[in-house]
Copies of this chain bind each other. A is one copy, B any other.
């Protein structure tokens, strides 16, 4: 077997393990999931799984990395579908609101559990998390900056700082909805309010 085929085979096996592991983590949470659960659910042999991963944290970090790649915002395609920078920003808001409101990201409970138990001690997730925050911040900031350059927005505030404030707002909504449910914290109204903040601050000219 050529090394290229072998590498492809490795990647396929890893993907198989990660997909199975994701289902296990969704069902059992992070701490209750065992290597045996993942071995059983993936159908890959014990030796096979341990070839790639040492423990459930290893696997969980790989699952989150895969999710980050899948989640990555495709700004180019958003710009193709939207008429203005404001519309792109609002499409992102809608997407995040939907994900939270309809609990589309089933891995979230396990992620929070990991963050505040094992991850709090090992800190093994922090470099990826920082990267995730940074990418999100850069994307949001780029949209605002482009809007300013095109005369659609008037920015009186630093674009990066506005982007950070959006991320905090999304994170807070995530936590609040996770705990009390989206209705109790009035998620719909909150998104409208935050949109108003931005609209006023950016003096949106074309939206």
Residues of A within 8 A of B (CB): 29, 31, 109, 112-113, 115-117, 120, 126, 129-130, 133, 156-158, 160-162, 164-165, 167-176, 179-180, 184-186, 189-190, 192-194, 196-198, 200-201
Contacts and interface: CB of A to CB of B under 8 A. Distances in A.
Nearest to A197: B197
A157 B186 CA distance: 14
Nearest to A170: B172
Contact of A200 (B116, B164, B172, B200): B200
17 contacts: A112-B116, A113-B116, A113-B120, A126-B180, A133-B180, A133-B185, A157-B193, A158-B193, A160-B189, A161-B189, A161-B192, A164-B189, A164-B190, A165-B169, A165-B193, A167-B172, A167-B185
A170 B175 CA distance: 11
A190 B161 contact: yes
